Chains A and B, each alone.
Chain A
Amino acid sequence: MSKYVIKRLAMAIVTLWVIITITFILMHSVPGDPFANENKRIPEAVYQNLLKKYGLDKPYSQQYLMYLKNIARGDFGESMKSNTETVNEMIARGFPVSASLGLQALLIALIFGPALGAIAALYQNKFPDYISMIISIIGVSVPSFVMGTFLIQFVARKVNWIPIGGWGEWRHTLLPSIALAMMPLAQMARLMRSSMLEVIGQDYIKTAKSKGISKSAVILKHSVRNAILPIVSILGTTISNLLVGSFVIEKIFGIPGLGMFFTTSIYNRDYTLIMGITVFYAIILILMLLFVDVAYTLIDPRIRLTEEGR
């Protein structure tokens, strides 16, 4: 397995290089520059000074090599919009905030999602099934900005100890975690329901039942364990999406996380931040996908990580 992991990590570096190159080309082919401001415009001379300050007056090839060199050293450079923080500092500050929120949301989704799905499957076409599927349809179809606004309006405004927005204490994280969790929770519930239904019909479940094993043991040991694999397979992207934060949720709740940089950096054409945040997200995603592959083998011993097998 370690051989496999090492090979995957080597591939990851090539992937990162491709991502950096494509991002570099894309961000420089979009019109505009980091120094344009919607309300205030600057004269040419000042603009030239700014280009020089950030090395944007150099030819693209040279800028590209500089980026590569700096990223290899783990230095994402100076943000072109902030004179206060470097890109590394921004990520180091925003990531823990987004990650803690994301992990809470993941926890909520992991606890309630598969459970809802399993219950729905066990009571197929009965009342609990309808309830859990209604919840998951709401979760999938209501966009997070609607969910966030709804929670603010009908929960935060009514309940005194739940703040409307902001950051600092545990109670600030409550509503945004719920809003964030809804989508993955719903996805997991639906996946769990269908795979559970499939598993319940299998011969080995009948065998287990006929052997006189208790109902709960059949469900927990045999059905759930076999049905949960599809959920593990979406965990990689789910976790990485949750960890790096959501632009919409962070904006609505005024959370100083990483999520908002994904949109604002592009809007501002903050080249160094765009690059930093893209590379950072790519690293997280690659690691999570690898983690999921390893998790497979833990949950289902039939799966082996070999070069031929994968």
Chain B
Amino acid sequence: MKKKLSVLLSIILLVSMLFTGCSNSDGGTGGKKILRSNNSSEPGSLDPPLAQGTHESWILENVFEGLMTFDEKGELVPGMAEDYEISEDGLTYTFTLRDGIKWSNGDPVTAEDFEFSWKRALDPELAADYAHILYYIEGAEAYNTGEGSRDDVAVKALDEKTLEVTLESPTAYFLELTAFYTYFPVNKKVVESNPDWAKKPETHVSNGPFKLVKWEHNAKIAMEKNDLYYNADKIKLDGIELDIIEDQNTAWQKYEGGEYDILVDIPTSVVAQLQAENDPQLHIGPQVGTYYYNVNPDVKPFNNVKVRKALSMALDRETIVKDITQGGQIAAEGVVPYGLKDENGKEFRDGVGNLIEYNPEKAKELLEEGLAEEGMTIEDFNNSNFVLLYNTSESHKKIAQAVQEMWRTALGIEIGLENVEFQVKLDREKAGDYDISRGGWIGDFMDPMTILELWWSKSAFNDVNYNNPEYDALLDEAKSTIDQNIRMEAMRKAEKMVMEDMPVIPVYFYTQPYVLRDGVEGVVKVPIRYPVITYADITK
């Protein structure tokens, strides 16, 4: 029996050595400038239209480039396009491509590639998650929803170098949209000959500053400088290597151990500690996003605007961002976050001013007035067992607890807390089965419209079913022209209006903290993007 057991043990040992023996190690970087970091989760796809979020776009933005792009200062500049013309009515854009732009396999990048890519992204059979960001193009929505045809999508390659696009309505931020990943081109020849082209680095073809060279699923992604890129002189790195580690703490430990040059998703407690120590490695990057609470207008007494305002006025947002979230977030002053510019190139936020007041006494008065109008008392309110719903997460929980306590002390009301998985929360919001629920929005482009559009009566994301014809009219006005003076004025009015009606209670504006090792330079933070590492340099 001893023999049998030892045979069994040695078999196990052999098999386990066999498995581990399969994997091999990588050599050192060999004096090359390789930027190392972590990508927080495995990309679902590296085919641009099939990408869904930052875990894909951080890679895509380095290996692809759209008609426009962000330069080393974080400014929007022509990318694949050399020049563009916009018609008087703001509807037709004619892009002229640069000379000598090439795909990583040597093929020239043509206007036809763009026409093909955009129509492909809209193909209902491809079912791209982000297809709706192309709906600005005439005929795009109809094609994507199966009502129109591919040929009616108004994007056309006039010749090899010229691309003409007609929009549904004037869109002041359309140029910026062409820098968004769903608008990135794909190589028509490659895609048509090999539908699986994006699945392996060997067959992956792109047109950006870097190209994909390694993709070990759930483990590692490596990119190498693309020498065929027209602006290769500006790229100082020889490559980028990203681990794929989901656990924030492990990734942080690796950064601390000197294994990364930059790290973006950092545990909240670490951010708080670095901030307290004034650590120069920590950067609080701007981000276009707002954290808010939806208030269900179909539940009495939340239908009363005074009640909603009382809830807002009782929140001490400074305390929330300073003591609870601790990531350099900014106390909300409205729904539109900082980082978006107005017609004079100044902060849109400053142009509107602070629309939020913290005043517990006034809040209490407002609440009593509002409740009286609904024929209720505070006791009735407390007997109704209202609940604040949030999706399970440690940080949402802490904020909800603080809010609960602030309402209790300032207004004398009791609101319960309930956490559910985010899928369940979405379901309940859709069904109107909630009193107050946590919401948040991260913008897609740098225009106040990216957030104001949420409460347009027909918006798919208008969870509170805010329906104000005057508000819609203001948004329509802003969408009817590219004259920034008219647009911005309409949007300023719109924001004031939505804050007056307060269908949602804004809490804070998001930020994006990241750490940079000493000796890494040239990382820029564009508010709507992850920190841009394309132009980074390693000096030490």
* Chain A residues within 8 Å of B, Cβ to Cβ: 30-33, 35-46, 48-50, 52-53, 81-85, 90, 93-94, 96-97, 99-100, 103-104, 106-107, 110-111, 149, 152-153, 156-157, 164-170, 173, 220, 225, 251-254, 256, 260, 267, 269, 298-299
Interface string of B32-52 (1 = CB under 8 A from A): 000000000011111100101
Q: Is the CB of A49 within 8 A of B44?
A: no
Q: A36-B426, A84-B44, A107-B9 are in contact. Are A100 and B19 (CB under 8 A)?
A: yes
Task: Name the residue of chain A whose CB is nearest to the CB of B459.
Answer: A43
* Chain B residues within 8 Å of A, Cβ to Cβ: 1-2, 4-5, 9, 12-13, 15-16, 18-20, 22-26, 42-47, 50, 52-53, 124-132, 141, 144-146, 198-199, 216-220, 243-247, 249-251, 253-254, 256-257, 259, 391, 421-424, 426-427, 440, 442, 460-461
Give the CA-CA distance A156 to B426 in the complex, in Å.
41
Task: Name the residue of chain A whose CB is nearest to the CB of B23.
Answer: A168
Give the CA-CA distance A143 to B199 in the complex, in Å.
37
Q: A85-B217, A267-B421 are in contact. Are A157 and B257 (CB under 8 A)?
A: yes
Q: B residues within 8 A CB of A220?
A: 2
Q: A residues within 8 A CB of B131?
A: 46, 49
Q: A83-B50, A152-B253, A168-B219 are in contact. Are A45 and B144 (CB under 8 A)?
A: yes
Q: Is the CB of B245 within 8 A of A254?
A: yes
Q: Is the CB of B250 within 8 A of A254?
A: yes
Task: Name the residue of chain B whose CB is nearest to the CB of A100.
Answer: B19
Q: Is the CB of A252 within 8 A of B19?
A: no
- Closest Cβ of chain A to B125, distance in Å, is 7
Main secondary structure of the interface of A (DSSP, over half): helix
Q: Is the CB of B53 within 8 A of A37?
A: yes
Give the CA-CA distance A173 to B253 in the complex, in Å.
17
- What are 11 A-B contacts with C-beta separation under 8 Å? A39-B53, A41-B426, A49-B146, A83-B44, A84-B46, A149-B249, A156-B257, A157-B253, A165-B247, A165-B254, A169-B23
Give the CA-CA distance A94 to B243 in the complex, in Å.
16
Known: A42-B129, A168-B219. 20 other contacts (CB 8 A): A31-B423, A33-B423, A38-B422, A40-B52, A45-B144, A48-B145, A52-B127, A84-B198, A93-B217, A103-B15, A104-B20, A107-B12, A111-B9, A164-B257, A253-B250, A254-B245, A254-B250, A260-B246, A267-B421, A299-B5
- Closest Cβ of chain A to B474, distance in Å, is 22
Task: Name the residue of chain A whose CB is nearest to the CB of B26.
Answer: A168
Q: B residues within 8 A CB of A44?
A: 460
Q: A residues within 8 A CB of B12?
A: 103, 106-107, 110
Q: Is the CB of B424 within 8 A of A152?
A: no
